[in-house]
Structure 1
Amino acid sequence: MFFLKRNYTLLICFVFALSAFAQERDKAIPLKTILQTIEKEHHVIFNYIDTEIVSYIIPPPKSTLTLNEKINYLQNKTNLSFENINNQFITVFNKSESDSTLICGHIFSRIDNSPLENANIQIGRGNTTVSDKKGYFELKNENSNEIVVSFIGFTTIKITIPNLQNQDCITIYLEQEISELDDITTNHFLTSGISKTLNGTYEIKPKKLGLLPGLIESDVLQTLQQIPGINSADESVANINVRGGTHDQNLFLWNGIKMYQTGHFFGLISAFNPNLAHTVSIYKNGTSAFYGESVSSVVDISSDTRDFEKNSFGAGINLINADVYSKFYSSKKGFFEISARRSITDLVETPTYKQYFDKAFQNTTISNFSNQQNVNYTNDEKFYFSDVTVKYSQKIGLKNHFTVDFISINDRLNVYQTNTINSNYQSENNTLYQKNYGGNLSWERNWNTQNTSKINTYSSSYELDAKKNKIQDNQIVKQENKILDNGIKLENHHVISSKFTFNNGYQFSEIGASNLDEVNSPSFYRRNKSVLRIHALVLEGKYNDTISKVSLNAGIRINYIEQFNRYLFEPRLQFNYGIFEYLNLEILGEFKSQNCFQIIDLQKDYFGIEKRRWILANNTTIPIQRSKQASISLTFAKNNWLITLENYYKKVSGINSSGQGFQNQLEFEKINGDYEVFGTEILLQKKIDHFISWISYTYNDNNYYFPNFIHPSFSNNFKMDHVITWAGIYEKDNLKIALGSKWYSGRPETTPVNDKINNSNPSNPTIEYNSPNNKHLEPFFQINFSTTYKWKNQNGIQYKLGFSILNVLNKQNEISEYYRINTASNSIEDVKTLALLRTPNLSFRVNF
C-alpha cells in the first residue's frame, strides 16, 4: 500500500513537472520576434544577421523593463552581444565570433543621419561587403587596420584605426559629394583647370583655368579649341569644327538653354563671359542620352550653384571690351550672380579692334565698297556688342533647390559709306542686328539619399536682322532669320546600390524657325515659317565599381517627331576600365540626330559677314541629320607624364550641300549626302615642377559623299589632314607665361579649269571648275604668346594684369580661297581670305 502511494505521488510530481515545463516552453518565442517587439516599444532599430539569431527561442523580457534592462536580459539569456548606439541603433552579434576576425559598423549620411544601404566597404585589398538597409555591415579582418567606404553621391573615405580588430562596431558618416561630376581620370589636362572624366568628358573650370598661349582670359570657346580634335577652320568661335563637323552640328547649352549665337564680333570673341564661376563639359563622343539635337559635339556650360564664403565683385577691361561681375547673398540660402560685358569699340579704336575689323570684313560687300577705284570715299562705322547674365539660386530646407537663369547676347553693326566714281555718287547704309535671349527655371528635389528629381523649363529666342539701303537707287533689301525654342525637361536619378544608378527622364521641345527676304525695288517678298514638336524618352544606367575600376554608362534616347510621325532610337555607350593604376581603356559610342541646322542661301547674304540661316528639317528635301560614332582610346598617366591615344570613326548622313559653305560649282546646288571621318588623336604631356609642356597631333580622313552629283566623293571643306599643336607653360606664384604654336595642313579649295569665263548663257556667265576640292591651300602656322601677373594689396583686393600676342611672327596665313567674276573687267578674280595678323591685347582686372 505504501509502495502504491509512493509511486502515485511520484507520478503526480512528474506530471506537474511536465506541465510546468510545457508552460515554460509555451512562453518562449523566437528572438527575432522579441527584437521586433522591442523596436516598436522603444523606437529603436536592431541590426543583426538572421543566421546568428534564428536558433534562439527564449521567454520575452517583461514589458515594464527599461530598454537597457531588456538588453541585459537578452545578453544573459543568449550568447550574443548588444551594442547600443545613441539609443537608436543596436547592433547584435555573436560572442563566439573571434573579435580578432570580425569588423562591424554602421554607415550614415551626414546630411540627415539616415542609414545608407548598399554602401561599398573594403578592408585593405581583400574582403568586401555592402551595408544593409539599416546601414550595418560586417566583414572578416585580414590583418589590416584600413577600410575604404564608398557610396554614389558621397565622398569616398579611407579610415585607418589602430588595432581595428579590437574595436566595437564603428560608426561612419559620409559627406555628400560637392561636385556632381564623374570621377576624374586625368587632371591637369593641357593646363590647370582642365580635366577628363571616366565618361570621356572634358571639364573646364574657367575660374581655375591656367594660362594658354594667346589668351589672357578664360574664353570658353577659345579654350576648348586646344583639345585634340577640336579646331576652327577660320579662327572663329562661331565656326568650331569637331572631328570634321560644322559649327551648327554642335549643341551649345548655357544652364540648360540652347544657344543659337555663340560669338561676338562675328565669331572672333566668345559670347559667354569668361569671369563666371562655371563648369564647361565637352563631349566629343559617348554623349549622355539626356542630350539631343546634335550630330557632333556637346558643349554644356553650367553656372555654379554651390554656397560660397563671401560676397565678391570684379571688374575688368581689355582692348576690346569691359565687364563687371558680382556674386552676393540675398539670404542665408539664396544668392544672386550677375555679369555684364560691353565692347568699347564704338568709343575707341584700338590696335586689337583694327585687326579684328579687318579680319571680319575682308572680302565682304562692306570692304568691297571701299576697294573700288574711288576718288572720294568716306566711311562711318559703329559696331558694338554686349552680354548680360543673371542667376538667382534659392535653397528651401534640405531637399529643395530653385534656380532662375537669364542670358542676353547682342551684336549691332551700322556702316554708312559713300563713294564717288567718275562723278557718279554712290552711298549705302548697312545695319545688322544679331541677338539671342534665353531663360531657364529649374527645381531640384532630393527625396532621399537614393532618389533625386529635377525639372527645367526653358526658352531661347534668336534673331538676325539685316537691312541694306542703296540710297541713290532708293532700293532697300531686308532679311531676317528667327528661332524660338521652348521646352521642358524632367530628370529622375535613382541610386540602386553603391555601384549602380538608374536615370530616366522626359523632354519636350517646340522649335519654330522663320526666314524673310524682302526687296522694295524690284518688288520681292518671301517668308518661310516652320514648327517642329519633339518628344524624347530617356533611359540610362550607370555602373561604377571603384574596386574593379570598371565604369559603364549605357543609355537610350527615343525621339518622337510629331509632324513626321517618326520615331528615332539613339543608343549611347561609355565604358572605362582601369587596366592598371596608371593605364585606362576607354570605349565610346553613340547614335544621334538633329532637326535644326544652318544653311547658306548666298555667300553675300547679310553683306557676306554672317551668311548662315537657321532652318528646320522637313523630312523630304531637307532630311533629318543623323550620326553614328565610335572610338577607342588609351590613357597613360604616371610620374607627371600624360599620354593619350584615340582612334575614332564618325559618319553623318542627311547633310545638305547648302550648309557646307561651298564657293564653287556647288554653291547654288541643294543636294543631300553625308560625310565620313576616320581619325587619330595623340597627346604627349609632361609636367616638371612649375613647368608643363605638351604636344598633340591629329589626323583625320574626312570625305563627302553626294550620290546625285557628278563627282560623288571628294574631300570635306573642313578637312585638316594633319594638325600639330605645341605649348610650354610656366606657372609660379602669381606669374604665368605661355608660349605655343599651331600648324595644320591647308584646307581644300576648288580651282577653275582655266581663266576664261563661260558665256554660253550671256545672262548668267559662269566659271568652269575642276572637280571639287582638287587642291589644298598652303599650311597654316602661327605662334602665340601670353602672360599674366596678379597681386594683392593690404585690404585683400586682387589685381591682375595680362598681355598677349596672337601671331607673333605676323605670318600671312591663308584660310580660304575662292573665285568670282568681276563684271567690270569681265575676268575671274582670285579671292583670298587671311587669318589675323599680329594682334596684341592688354587686360587689367580687379577682384574683391
Structure 2
Amino acid sequence: MSRKGTRSIFILLFFLNFGTLSSQTVQKEKQPLIVVLKNLSEKFNVSFSYVDNTINDKECIVPDASLSLEDILEFLKMETQLDFELLDNRFVVIKIPKKSKTNYRIQHLEEVVVTNYLTTGITKLNDGSITIKPQTFGILPGLIEPDILQTIQAIPGVLSADETVSNINIRGGTHDQNLLLWDGIKMYQSGHFFGLISAFNPYTTKRVNVYKNGTRAKYGDGISSIIDMQLPDDIDQELNAGIGFNLINADGYAKIPLSKKMELQLSTRRSITDFINTATFEQYSKRIFQDSDFEKSKNNRNSISRNETFYFYDVTAKFLYDITKKDKLRFHFLHVNNNLNYDEQSSINDRNESLNSKLSQRNSAIGMTYTRDWNNKLSMTSQIYVSNYDLDATNFDITNNQRLIQENEVYDGSVKLDINYSINNQFKINGGYQFTEVGISNLEDVNNPEFRSFIREVIKTHAVYAETGFLLNDAKTKLTLGGRLNQMSKFNLLLAEPRLSFSQRFLHYLRFEVLGEFKSQTTSQIIDLQNDFLGIEKRRWVLSNNDNIPVIKSKQASAGIHYSKNKLLISAEGYIKKVDGITTRSQGFQNQYQFVNSIGSYEIKGIDLLLNKQFSNTVSSWVSYSYNTNSYTFNELNNGEEFPNNVDIRHAVTFAGTYTNKNIKLALGLNWHSGKPTTAPSIHDNPDDEQITYSSPNSKNLDDYLRADCSATYAFNISDGARATVGASVWNVLNKKNIINSYYTLDIENKVNTVENESLGITPNVSFRVQF
C-alpha cells in the first residue's frame, strides 16, 4: 500500500475516533505547519514552543475552524506524528515523541468518545472511564483551581453527602470503597482540612482516570470506584514551574531537567491558616469543627481554650531516569499532613490546670517503578511501594480528669509486575501479578479508669490477572474481557473477579455501552464512637478478619447509550450494584443501631442522565439528573426487612454553565438533591427509661439540599516566559442553610435534644498564580 493510502487510513481512523471532525477536511490542501501554527496562535491566543528542526518540512491539512483547540492539537498530532502538549491553556510544547509506534496502537484502544466533557480537560473514553487532565482543566462552578476530588463530583453518579472529599459517595458506596492511587501507590488519606480540600496537588498531576464500573483487571480493591492519579512520566527537557496562593494555602512546583536522561519533579503546599485568619478559613473551621470536642472545649464554661493552631502541608517528589531508550527508572515520594493543637485551661479546686489536646493525620508513600520495552510489541512494568497512614489523637478532659490516647496506623506494602503485549492495531493483551501485605493497628489508652486496647491484623494477598482488548469493525467495536484471581491464605479464600467492558458505535455519533465487574476488598473504615479522634476524624481503618468484619464483595452491571453530535451530548446509563459484607460500624449509624455490630449488604439501582451542549468554543452548559434506590439488608436488624441506606439520596440535579473566551473563564452552577435519610425519635418515647426510643430506621428525610456556586479566572502575560492567573469564587452564593446531618441526644434531665450539622455557608475565595 502506498504512503498516501496509509496516511488516508490514519485520517479516516481519526475521524472515527473524534466524531466532531468534518469529512470535508480531507479534501483541503496541505500547508506548511509553521503557517498553520501562526494562524492558531492568533486565533486562540496561545504560544507554541519548539525546536526549528522539529517542524521543518512538516505539512498538514488546515484544521476545521469550528474545532476546539484540544481537538485541533489531537488532529495535528495524527497528521504530523509530533507531540502537542497544552500547558495552562496558553503554552503548547511541540516535540518529537520518544515512544514507539506500539504506544500509538494502544492509544487507538482508548478511543475518545467525548472531548470537553462538561468542561475542557475532562474526557470520556470508550471503556466507560472519565479522564481529567488538570493542566488543561477549564473551570467549574465554585472552583478556581483544579481540585482533583472536588472536580470528580461534577460527574453524574458522584456526590459527597457532607460536602467533603473524604466522604465521596459513588453509586451509593462509602468513601473507603473508593481506591485512590497516586502514581500507582494506594492512598489512605484523601483530604486536607479534614476533608474540605484534596490532599493531592493538581499542578503536578498529569492525568486522573476515574472508573465507576468495568474497571481494568489490573486494579484490585475499590468496590465503588477507582481514582487513578498519574504524574508526568516522560522526560521532555523542558523547565516548568509555578507558584500560587489562595485564602487557605500557598504552593509551588517545579519540573526540572537534570540532563537528557534525568528529571526531577517537586511540589509542596502549606496552609496559611496559622499565620493569617481569612474569611474562607473561618467558614471552613465552622464547618469542620462543629460538633467536635475541639468546638465543645471552646464553649465549655468551666474551661478556656487557647493557643489553638491548625495547619496542613504536603510534599511530593518524583525522580525520572531513562537508563537507555528501552529502560526507565522512576522514584516516587509523597507526604501529606494535617495537624491540630489546642490548650484547655481550667480552674479546679482553686488550682489552674492547662493540658494540650492534639490531633495529627498523615499519609507517607515511597515507591520505585522500572519499565522495560523489550520491542515494539512487548513491554513490562514492575513496581514496589510502601504506603503508611497514621492518625493520632490525645484528648484531655480536664473536668473529668481523663486522658484518652487513640491511634490508627496502616502499613501497606506491595509488589507489582505488569506486562503489555500488542499483537497488532486491533488486539492487545495485558496481564500481571501483585503481592500485597497490609497491616492495620488500633490503639486506645485511657487513664481514668485505666484501660488499654491494642489490636493489630495482617493480611497477605496474592493476585494474578489477565485481560484482552479488541478493537474491531473499523474501530466501531471495543471489547475488553478480563479477570482477576485473589488468594488470601489466612482465610483459605480464593476469589475470582471477572471484568467486562463493551462499546459499540453506530452512525458515527451514537454509542452503546455495557460494563460489568466482580470486586472485593479487605480494608474498610469504621466508627466505634462519634467522638473518637476528637470527633473530627471519626473513621478508623480496619482489616477484615473473616468473622465480624468480613471481606467485602460487590457485583455490578450497567448499560448506557451516548449520543454526541454537533457539540451536543445526551447520555443515559442505568446500573445495579450489590455489595455484601458491610458492617453497621462502617456505615456511621447515629440511631438505634449506633452500638450494634451486625453484618449485612446494600443494593442500589439507578440511572444517570446528562445533557451537555457546547456553543461555539466559548460556552458549555449541562444539566445532569441521577435517580436511585439504595437499601440495606441486615438479617439481625429491622426484622430482616430492607430499609433505606444512610446515603439513599433518591434525586440529584446539577445545572451549570461555563464561558471561556481567550483569557477569561466564568462558571455558574446550581446543585440540588433530596435530603439524606434520618431516624427520628418515636412519638411513644418514654423520658423515664433514660434512653431514646426511635421510630423505624431511616424512615424520615432531611430537608432538600440546595447550593449555588460561581467562579471566575483571568489570565495575562507577565513576560514572554511567565503567565499569571487571578481567580475568585463563591461557594454557596445564596448562603443557604443546608442541614447535612441530624441526630438526637439526651440531656441531664433525659430530654431529647436535636443536633443538626450545617453545610458550608457562603464561602469566598481568591487566588493568584504565576507559571513559568
TM range (shorter): 0.7 to 0.9
Matches within 5 A, 1:29-428: 103=1, 176-177=103-104, 182-308=110-236, 310-372=238-300, 374=301, 377-418=304-345
Matches of residues 817-832 of structure 1 in structure 2 within 5 Å?
817-823=742-748, 825-832=749-756
Aligned partner of 2:659 in structure 1 is 730
Residues 697, 724 of structure 1: 8 Å contact kept: yes
Give me the whole-angstrom Cα distance separating, in 2, the residues matched to 1:792 and 1:300: 33
Change (3 A) 1:259 1:155: farther
- 8 Å CA contact retained: 1:514, 1:527: yes
Q: CA deviation at 1:545?
A: 2.3
Q: Which residue of 2 aligns with 1:38?
A: none
- Secondary structure at the aligned position of 1:368 is classed as helix
Instruction: Report the CA distance shift for 1:378/1:295 in structure 2 as closer, same or farther (over 3 A).
Output: closer
Does structure 1 conserve the Cα–Cα contact (< 8 Å) formed by 2:247 and 2:280? yes
The separation in 2 between residues aligned to 1:207 and 1:791, in whole angstroms, is 17
Q: Is the 8 A contact 1:425 1:472 kept in 2?
A: no
C-alpha deviations, 1:591-634, integer Å up to 9, x for none?
A: 00010111111111011111111111111221110000000001
Match of 1:719 in 2: 648
Distance 2:7 2:410 in 1: 49
Shift of 1:721: 0.4
Q: Which amino acid aligns with 1:678?
A: K
**Could you tell me the percent identity over the aligned residues?**
43
- 1:585 maps to what in 2? 512
| TM superposition shift of 1:707 | 1.0
- 2:83 corresponds to which residue? none
Checking the alignment, whether the CA contact within 8 Å between 2:105 and 2:424 is kept in structure 1 is no
Amino acid at match of 1:201: S
Answering whether residue 751 of structure 2 is matched by residue 806 of structure 1, we say no
Tell me the alpha carbon deviations over residues 395-425 of structure 1, each in whole angstroms, 9 at most, x when there is no partner.
Answer: 1222111111100000100022335699897
- C-alpha spacing 1:755/1:391, structure 2 compared with 1 (3 Å): farther
Distance in 1 (alpha carbons) for counterparts of 2:317 and 2:289:
32
1:361 partner letter: F
Is the partner of 1:717 in helix, strand or coil? coil
Q: Superposition pairs for residues 6-17 of structure 1, below 5 Å?
A: none
Give the secondary structure class of the aligned counterpart of 1:221. helix
Partner of 2:712: 787
Q: Is the 8 A contact 1:417 1:427 kept in 2?
A: yes
Cα distance change on mapping 1:105 and 1:320 into 2, 3 Å? closer
Q: Which residue of 2 aligns with 1:835?
A: 759
Deviates more, 1:825-834 or 1:383-392: 825-834
Report the Cα offset of residue 156 of structure 1: 9.7
Name the SS for the 2:610 alignment partner: strand
Tell me what 2:371 maps to: 444
- Which residue of structure 1 lines up, in the alignment, with residue 483 of structure 2? 556
Give the equivalent residue in structure 1 for 2:614.
Answer: 687
Q: 1:641 to 1:511 in 2, by over 3 A?
A: same
Q: Which residue of 1 aligns with 2:51?
A: none
**Cα deviation 1:93-132 (Å, max 9, x = unaligned):** xxxxxxxxxx46799xxxxxxxxxxx99969999xxxxxx
Residues 750-799 of structure 1 show CA distances to partners (whole Å, capped at 9, x for unaligned) of 00013855554xxxx32100010010010000000100011112342111
CA separation of 1:756 and 1:776: change in aligned 2, threshold 3 A: same
Superposed, 1:697-776 pairs within 5 Å as 697-712=625-640, 713-754=642-683, 756=685, 759-760=688-689, 765-776=690-701
Whether 1:656 and 2:583 are equivalent positions in the alignment is: yes
Name the counterpart of 1:46. none
User: Partner amino acid for 1:735?
Assistant: I
Deviation at 1:544, TM superposition (A): 1.1
| Alignment match, 2:721 | 796
| SS of structure 1 residue aligned to 2:693 | strand
Looking at structure 2, the residues matched to 120 and 688 of structure 1 have their Cα atoms a distance apart, in angstroms, of 32
Matched with 1:567 is 494
Consecutive unaligned residues of structure 1, counting only runs of 5 or more, are 1-102, 108-118, 127-144, 147-153, 160-172
User: SS at the partner of 2:605?
Assistant: strand
Equivalent residues of 2:666, 2:713 under 8 A apart: yes
> Residues 483-519 of structure 1, C-alpha deviation per residue, up to 9 Å, x if partnerless?
0000100011111222111111000000001000101
2:469 maps to which residue?
A: 542
Contact 2:10 2:78 in 1 (8 A): no
Aligned partners of 1:589 and 1:630 also within 8 Å = yes
- For residues 660 and 313 of structure 1, the distance between their equivalents in structure 2, rounded to whole angstroms, comes to 43
Report the residue type matching 1:407 in the other structure: L
Paired with 1:376 and 1:484, the residues of 2 have a C-alpha distance of 38
Q: Is 2:251–2:269's contact at 8 Å kept on the other side of the alignment?
A: yes
- Residue-by-residue CA offset, 1:250-269 (whole Å, 9 max, x unaligned): 00000011000000111001
Distance 1:757 1:428 in 2: 40
Name the CA distance, whole Å, in 2 between partners of 1:558 and 1:617: 18
Q: Distance in 2 between matches of 1:592 and 1:357?
A: 37
2:11·2:78 contact (CA, 8 Å) conserved in 1? no
Change (3 A) 1:445 1:364: same
Q: Which residue of 2 aligns with 1:96?
A: none
- Answer yes or no: is the 8 Å Cα contact 1:428–1:468 preserved in 2: no
Structure 1 stretch displaced more, 667-676 or 701-710: 701-710
* Cα displacement string for residues 376-413 of structure 1 (whole angstroms, at most 9, x for unaligned residues): 74433100000000001111222111111100000100
Q: Structure 2: give runs of 5+ residues left out of the alignment.
A: 14-28, 31-74, 81-99
User: CA, structure 1 residues 123+555, in 2 after alignment: closer, same or farther (shift >3 Å)?
Assistant: closer
Q: Is the 8 A contact 2:297 2:304 kept in 1?
A: no
Q: How much has 1:294 moved relative to structure 2?
A: 1.8
Give yes or no for the alignment of 1:618 onto 2:576: no
1:676 alignment partner, SS class:
strand
CA RMSD of aligned residues (A): 2.5
Looking at structure 1, the residues matched to 538 and 10 of structure 2 have their Cα atoms a distance apart, in angstroms, of 63
Q: Tell me what 2:43 maps to.
A: none
User: In the alignment, residue 771 of structure 1 is paired with which amino acid?
Assistant: S
User: Which residue is 1:41 aligned to?
Assistant: none
CA distance 1:223–1:830, change in 2 (3 Å): same
Who is 2:600 aligned against?
Answer: 673
The range that moved more, 677-686 or 427-436, is 427-436
Distance 1:295 1:404 in 2: 28
Other structure's SS at 1:753 match:
coil
| 1:844 equivalenced with 2:732 (yes/no) | no
Q: CA deviation at 1:241?
A: 0.2
Structure 2 residue identity aligned to 1:569 = A
2:452 aligned residue (525, 530, 539): 525
Partner deviation per Cα, 1:37-65 (whole Å, 9 max, x = no partner): xxxxxxxxxxxxxxxxxxxxxxxxxxxxx
Checking the alignment, whether the CA contact within 8 Å between 1:757 and 1:827 is kept in structure 2 is no
Q: Which has the larger radius of gyration?
A: 1
- Paired residue total: 691
Q: Does the residue aligned with 2:538 lie in a helix, a strand or coil?
A: coil
1:286-317 per-position Cα deviation (integer Å, ceiling 9, x unaligned): 01010011211000001011233521221111
The whole-number CA distance in structure 2 between the counterparts of 1:525 and 1:203 is 47
User: Which whole-Å CA distance do the structure 2 matches of 1:586 and 1:625 have between them?
Assistant: 27
Higher relative contact order (CA 8 A, sep 6+): 2
